[in-house]
Chain A
Amino acid sequence: MEYLIVLIPMMPLAAVFVTALLGPRVLRSNSHVPTVTAAAVAFVASLALLLMVYWATAASEKPFATTVQLWNWADLRQPELEGQVAAPDAGPLDLARFHVPVTLRVDPLTAVMQVTVTCISLLVSIYSIGYMHDDPGYWRYFTYISLFIFSMTMLVSVSNFALLYVFWEAVGLCSYLLIGFWYHKPEAAAAGKKAFLVNRVGDFGFALGLFLLWSSYGTLNFHDSVHPQTGELISAGILGGVRTAAGGQGYLHGGVAMAIALLLFVGACGKSAQFPLHVWLPDAMEGPTPVSALIHAATMVTAGVYMVARCMPLFDAAPGALLVVGCIGGFTALLAAFIALTQNDLKRILAYSTISQLGYMFLGLSVGGLAGAVAGMFHLFTHAFFKALLFLGAGSVMHAMGGVIDLQRIGGLRRRLPWTYATFLVGCLALAGVFPLAGFFSKDEILGVLYQQEGGGVYRLLFYAGLAGALMTAFYTFRAFFLAFHGEELVPAEAGRHAHESPPVMLLPLVILAVASLVVGAIFGPTGWFESFLSKTPGLAAVAEAGSHAAPHAGHDGHTWVVAWSTVAAVLGIALAAILYLGPGGLLRGVATAARSVGVYTLSYRKVFIDELYALAVVRPLRGLAIVAAWFDRYVIDCLVDLVGLLPKAIGALLRDVQTGFIPWYASAMMLGLLTLLAALVLF
């Protein structure tokens, strides 16, 4: 098992080096080979790992986790201090006890994430062979993709907050590189910059959270570390068995717990594009479409969800923070769905849909405890498949239409692109949450736990928000679907004579993902397999035992209601879209005019003016400040710095003259120094 844990991230890492070194000269148009091979091996390895973990957990009732320590980074501990328990807040010199063990772990949570990540990575890299061929940056593309797969698999398998942060940044870097992949396009370069800057805000909060964790717990490890020989405990990891076994006693409560949880959530907001840090994700669609599918829909943006699920004991210690998570998630789900209603760019619709679905995941997480973590993670798991499917389908459309994705300029493509049409339909049904597709079960799970949560009226409110969101989701999904594939056939001039179905290498991933979107929900949801498996994760097992929250599915009272309501919402949304976009045009115009007249349409179309708001409240003042600061820097600070910088230089100039080059002078200087030292020692 240890070999597999290490093998999974090491394969893509090897592919990075091979592609970067051999890509430009040797591999050229075969540059995809290392990436695809590495992703395939990693996928098989993570499947094997998942099975091994499953057998291990099925055998016993206890939670299961294994760690492999590769080496100790930044280990400055002196031998005699080794094996001592680190005292919290012992001051800066306590750095003598600081170390970052590069430790990989596997437990059910990691195993599920690994399978999801490597599976989508494999399919997307196969798809990219067709989508990116003839691109001048072919090898560069696959180098970045490999780097991303490496960073992402590391992110979900490291067992230390410092390393989590490292790979958190690493996937951010890959995202930045891939958004700006066509860096000659000014929009792409600007989008990359925007993503980077917005993420900085989140990462700053995350970093503060880590500092607070270190100073309040004295370690950054997830796991407990024990002495290799004697087996006695050296330090209790933040999410390790010692602390979690103590239930609520293992964690700080009150303000500190609240601050830690909220700061970590700020980080999650940045990475997972939650309000108010969601603005980067729609712009990130400037990158190649497979990248949008892999990074900005299925895997990287869900890192925030993973992190909150991973840290669930920390969040459980601060119920107030969970409520904040829920409110932000619910609001984001509604806001993004509302904006998606009127967008005309197919990829942007999908991007807002992703933001909205991520909001759902946080809604699920906000319930807390095992139930919340399972609901959030299950939606993450199913969403990865159908959202990747939708993006790849959109990519297939773009491929055929010569890069045009504007819904006003394309239409009625179902005959020209039959495979894309069929698979896209499956994706839309899954996203809308129609029985028995994947999205139905996971969305139902989230609504169910919200409905059953006893935490008060707020959760009931969030439940209704979720329902409203489901209605809008179904509507905008099928609006896009009908506009693109039904109605009059409309092919833009850019498509030329290439307006035909994509090559098999692109269709194969579509078909696989479509099949997965059909079945994964039904297989893992109602059977309770997902939940019982995840409950063997050490941190989650503990919060399940703590029992401060409603036990999941304790009573299924009202569950039928939830199912009925969510199905009604989905069907209603689809029906509305069908009536408006397939029915007589007059109706649509009427509704549009009505919506426009009260300003709702514009509000949605202009994305609730959030970008403009930021420009007004943040960007312009900052730019003004920057102009003032630049002037100040140039004429005041620079002069001061130059003065300070001149000081050593001036001293140097004086001292330099002493260096005359004459041996007698050097010798007498040495003797003079000797006498001075002697005098100093004897006289004082």
Chain B
Amino acid sequence: MIPELVLGMGAVACFCLGAFPTVRRASQLVAWFAVLFAGAVVGVQTGWWHGHAVSEPWYAAFGNLFRWMGLGLGLVLLASMRPGASERHEAESLGCLLSAILGLMLVGGAADLITLFLGLELISVASYILLYLDRDGPRPEEAAGKYFYLSILSSAVFLYGLSYLYGLGGALRLDRLTHAWASGAGTLGDASLGAMAAVLVLAGLAFKITAVPFHFYAPDVYQGTSHVNASLLSVLPKAAGMAAIIKLLLGIMVGGGLPLWQVTLAVAVLTVTVGNVIALWQTHLRRLLAYSSIAHAGFMLIGLTAAMTYRRPHQHPWDGAGALLFYLVAYVIATAGAFAALSVLRRGNRPVERLDDLRGLARSNATAPRFIAWSLAAFMFSLAGIPPLAGFWGKLAVFFSALDVGASPSENPLRSRLLWLAVIGAVNAAIGAAYYLRVVGAMFFTEDDAQDRQQAAVVATPAVVAVFACLVLTLAIGLSPGSWFQAAHSASPTAVPTIVEVSLDTAPATH
């Protein structure tokens, strides 16, 4: 619990410092210290690595995975926050950022419904404020307003779902709920109450992960705000939403005898297709990345769908939930890196926003823009799933998890559907490559022909270091995915053959 407390105190300290104009510059220091200290504590607690003992239950590794992810993202986002852009509200922005990270870590480690919900809301509330405080984006009010209203709506739906869950299971603790659903609470009376709970929870979380048709806000909001906020919105809520989906849908409800996988399959197909085909039309970089993030949610849902179909204790060499988690890690690193790379670019005093602004970046005379161009290309290739990079292994794992079910020698009627799901995923991966390559093409194969525009330049900020770190990670995971796969595997609830038989006496999965 100590890392969470440290972050919480850091956030409070930042908010307090904001009230005193003379010392508010110190909030930078406080924020960095809080994240680094929390990281050190997590490191000491987990032996610097999610090096799990075999006996360790999945949710412990799961919590640690999201702690590391939150802290890593915290460092990248802290580095990308441009000092001076919103100087008046710097302290408040940093406080919100720390709260959002705290939210992700709480969701990852939550052992009961209340903590889970509070963690999610912590991210949402912090995002509202960040969106509103941001003066760098072109249309901050519109972005903040849209996100606020639609997010509240989705939170209400989610909470409504939680109330059904509580009502049917009679408990708030996740392990008790698991037990209750395993013993038939989900199909109490007629099955419609369980279905209600599942669909409401899924719909509420679908907003966070930008699944179709709950995705509409993303392109408008990303476009209206700054690169840093778009980065935050495309990684933190998505990671938290995925964590909650795994915990609630996969950890609890899948044992309840509902054909949930059909629902997630439909959502996955819709999401991945809509995200990719609309992205083909985009010329605004943040809008493009928004549709890209929608499409990636769809890819992750393919892994989820595969995991949903595991009925009886059965070992799957390509575990769906593990594949999802690996994909999430690869996606988060590449997306945060891409936004960080965009945030350091400037044309004159204007941020780089459109595809045309990237023209000829790789042919620049200075070294720094060329480095950014190469890094951005690496992130795009990773997102597109080109072999030696992290994203490739993510796509491979997700598709194989679907194929694995599809090819299993069982009498199940779902086999052919899962095969089709993998095929649709693969087709979409090809479509997706088209728009990522357009970004690369703009940087590498076109001349900067506009005379009226100023040369692209790099503002030296810590974000360049963050870009480098993301680049190294993308390459490292791509070259040696094994240990990362095993980490994702150990954090996956379906990797353990006995997902339905979690004992009541298990210690609560708290921090």
Contact with A along B242-278 (1 / 0, CB 8 A): 0000000000000000111011001100000110111
Q: Does A669 reach chain B (CB closer than 8 Å)?
A: yes
Chain B residues in 8 Å Cβ range of A669: 213, 216
Q: How far, in Å, is B254 (CB) from chain A's closest CB? A: 13
Tell which of B206, B207, B489 touches A78, judged by Cβ atoms closer than 8 Å.
B489
Query: Are A661 and B220 in contact (CB-based, < 8 A)?
Result: yes
Instruction: Provide a sorted-by-A list of 10 A–B residue pairs whose CB atoms are within 8 angstroms.
Output: A78-B319, A651-B273, A652-B277, A659-B220, A673-B203, A673-B212, A677-B203, A677-B263, A681-B198, A681-B260
Chain A residues in 8 Å Cβ range of B198: 681
Query: Are A76 and B397 in contact (CB-based, < 8 A)?
Result: yes
| Assembled-state Cα–Cα distance A78/B487 (Å) | 10
Query: Are A673 and B263 in contact (CB-based, < 8 A)?
Result: no
Tell which of B150, B260, B315, B317 touches A667, judged by Cβ atoms closer than 8 Å.
B150
Query: Are A670 and B281 in contact (CB-based, < 8 A)?
Result: no
| Assembled-state Cα–Cα distance A648/B207 (Å) | 24
Q: Does A617 reach chain B (CB closer than 8 Å)?
A: no
Q: Does A26 reach chain B (CB closer than 8 Å)?
A: no
Query: Are B400 and A95 in contact (CB-based, < 8 A)?
Result: yes
Tell which of B203, B277, B482 touches A655, judged by Cβ atoms closer than 8 Å.
B277
Q: Does A593 reach chain B (CB closer than 8 Å)?
A: no
| Assembled-state Cα–Cα distance A658/B212 (Å) | 12
Query: Are B480 and A75 in contact (CB-based, < 8 A)?
Result: yes
Contact with A along B196-240 (1 / 0, CB 8 A): 101110110011000011101101100000000000000000000
Segment at the interface with B among A66-74, A308-316, A366-374, A561-569 = A66-74
Chain B residues in 8 Å Cβ range of A71: 479-480
| Assembled-state Cα–Cα distance A99/B317 (Å) | 14
Q: Does A613 reach chain B (CB closer than 8 Å)?
A: no
Q: How far, in Å, is B133 (CB) from chain A's closest CB? A: 21
Chain A residues in 8 Å Cβ range of B214: 670, 673
Binding site secondary structure of chain B: helix
Whether A681 contacts B482 in the complex (CB less than 8 A), given A93-B404, A655-B277, comes out as: no
Q: Does A684 reach chain B (CB closer than 8 Å)?
A: yes
Tell which of B154, B317, B481 touches A75, judged by Cβ atoms closer than 8 Å.
B481
Query: Are A93 and B278 in contact (CB-based, < 8 A)?
Result: no
Contact with A along B475-492 (1 / 0, CB 8 A): 000011110011001100
Query: Are A78 and B485 in contact (CB-based, < 8 A)?
Result: yes
Q: Does A618 reach chain B (CB closer than 8 Å)?
A: no
Q: How far, in Å, is B223 (CB) from chain A's closest CB? A: 10
Chain A residues in 8 Å Cβ range of B273: 651
Whether A653 contacts B146 in the complex (CB less than 8 A), given A73-B480, A661-B220, A682-B192, comes out as: no
Contact with B along A660-684 (1 / 0, CB 8 A): 0101011101101110011011101
Not counting A73-B479, A78-B485, A670-B157, a sample of 10 additional A-B residue pairs whose C-beta atoms are within 8 angstroms of each other reads A78-B317, A78-B319, A79-B54, A79-B490, A666-B150, A667-B153, A673-B206, A678-B195, A681-B199, A681-B262
| Assembled-state Cα–Cα distance A31/B207 (Å) | 57
Q: How far, in Å, is B423 (CB) from chain A's closest CB? A: 14
A window 33-63: CB within 8 A of B: none
Chain A residues in 8 Å Cβ range of B278: 652, 655-656, 659
| Assembled-state Cα–Cα distance A681/B489 (Å) | 30
B window 277-324: CB within 8 A of A: 277-281, 315, 317-319
**Residue picked from B198, B279, B431, most chain A C-beta under 10 Å:** B431
Q: Does A649 reach chain B (CB closer than 8 Å)?
A: yes
Tell which of A81, A645, A651, A670 touches B317, judged by Cβ atoms closer than 8 Å.
A81
Chain B residues in 8 Å Cβ range of A649: 277, 280-281
Query: Are B281 and A656 in contact (CB-based, < 8 A)?
Result: yes
Chain A residues in 8 Å Cβ range of B217: 666
Chain A residues in 8 Å Cβ range of B482: 72, 74-77, 99
Chain B residues in 8 Å Cβ range of A79: 54, 486, 489-490
**Residue picked from B157, B196, B198, B317, most chain A C-beta under 10 Å:** B317
Chain B residues in 8 Å Cβ range of A656: 278, 281
Closest 8 pairs between A and B when the two form their complex, measured CB to CB: A75-B482, A96-B317, A652-B277, A673-B213, A666-B216, A681-B195, A674-B203, A648-B277
Tell which of A653, A661, A678 touches B199, judged by Cβ atoms closer than 8 Å.
A678
Q: How far, in Å, is B109 (CB) from chain A's closest CB? A: 23
Tell which of A72, A78, A659 touches B480, judged by Cβ atoms closer than 8 Å.
A72
Q: Does A134 reach chain B (CB closer than 8 Å)?
A: no
Q: How far, in Å, is A364 (CB) from chain B's closest CB? A: 39
Q: Does B145 reach chain A (CB closer than 8 Å)?
A: yes
| Assembled-state Cα–Cα distance A674/B317 (Å) | 33
Q: Does B59 reach chain A (CB closer than 8 Å)?
A: no
Q: Does B19 reach chain A (CB closer than 8 Å)?
A: no
Q: Does A642 reach chain B (CB closer than 8 Å)?
A: no
| Assembled-state Cα–Cα distance A652/B482 (Å) | 37
Q: Does B188 reach chain A (CB closer than 8 Å)?
A: no
B window 485-508: CB within 8 A of A: 485-486, 489-490, 495
Query: Are A670 and B489 in contact (CB-based, < 8 A)?
Result: no
Chain A residues in 8 Å Cβ range of B280: 648-649, 652
| Assembled-state Cα–Cα distance A199/B485 (Å) | 36
Chain A residues in 8 Å Cβ range of B213: 669-670, 672-673
Chain A residues in 8 Å Cβ range of B192: 682
Tell which of B196, B318, B319 touches A93, judged by Cβ atoms closer than 8 Å.
B318
Q: How far, in Å, is B29 (CB) from chain A's closest CB? A: 34
Chain B residues in 8 Å Cβ range of A76: 393, 396-397, 481-482, 485
Name the residue on B nearest A651 (C-beta).
B277
Chain B residues in 8 Å Cβ range of A658: 216
Query: Are A80 and B315 in contact (CB-based, < 8 A)?
Result: yes
Q: Does B472 reach chain A (CB closer than 8 Å)?
A: no
Chain A residues in 8 Å Cβ range of B393: 76
Chain A residues in 8 Å Cβ range of B259: 681, 684
| Assembled-state Cα–Cα distance A29/B220 (Å) | 56
Name the residue on B nearest A91 (C-beta).
B407
Q: Does B403 reach chain A (CB closer than 8 Å)?
A: yes
Chain A residues in 8 Å Cβ range of B199: 674, 677-678, 681
Chain A residues in 8 Å Cβ range of B276: 648
Name the residue on B nearest A76 (C-beta).
B485
| Assembled-state Cα–Cα distance A645/B276 (Å) | 13
| Assembled-state Cα–Cα distance A518/B220 (Å) | 79
Chain B residues in 8 Å Cβ range of A97: 317
| Assembled-state Cα–Cα distance A573/B490 (Å) | 73
| Assembled-state Cα–Cα distance A75/B397 (Å) | 12
Q: Does B149 reach chain A (CB closer than 8 Å)?
A: yes
Chain A residues in 8 Å Cβ range of B149: 663, 667
Name the residue on A nearest B428 (C-beta).
A648
Whether A670 contacts B480 in the complex (CB less than 8 A), given A96-B318, A682-B192, comes out as: no
Chain A residues in 8 Å Cβ range of B219: 659
Chain A residues in 8 Å Cβ range of B153: 667, 670
Q: Does B191 reach chain A (CB closer than 8 Å)?
A: yes
| Assembled-state Cα–Cα distance A566/B213 (Å) | 84
Q: How far, in Å, is B22 (CB) from chain A's closest CB? A: 41
Q: How far, in Å, is B53 (CB) from chain A's closest CB? A: 12
Whether A670 contacts B207 in the complex (CB less than 8 A), given A79-B489, A81-B317, comes out as: yes
Q: How far, in Å, is B12 (CB) from chain A's closest CB? A: 33
Chain B residues in 8 Å Cβ range of A78: 317, 319, 485-486, 489, 495
Chain A residues in 8 Å Cβ range of B196: 678, 682
Chain A residues in 8 Å Cβ range of B281: 649, 652-653, 656
Contact with B along A407-430 (1 / 0, CB 8 A): 000000000000000000000000
Query: Are B277 and A674 in contact (CB-based, < 8 A)?
Result: no
| Assembled-state Cα–Cα distance A78/B214 (Å) | 35
Chain A residues in 8 Å Cβ range of B157: 670, 674
Q: How far, in Å, is B426 (CB) from chain A's closest CB? A: 13
Chain A residues in 8 Å Cβ range of B207: 670
Contact with A along B409-447 (1 / 0, CB 8 A): 000000000000000000000010010000000000000
| Assembled-state Cα–Cα distance A665/B407 (Å) | 41
Q: How far, in Å, is A473 (CB) from chain B's closest CB? A: 45
Name the residue on A nearest B204 (C-beta).
A674
Contact with B along A480-492 (1 / 0, CB 8 A): 0000000000000
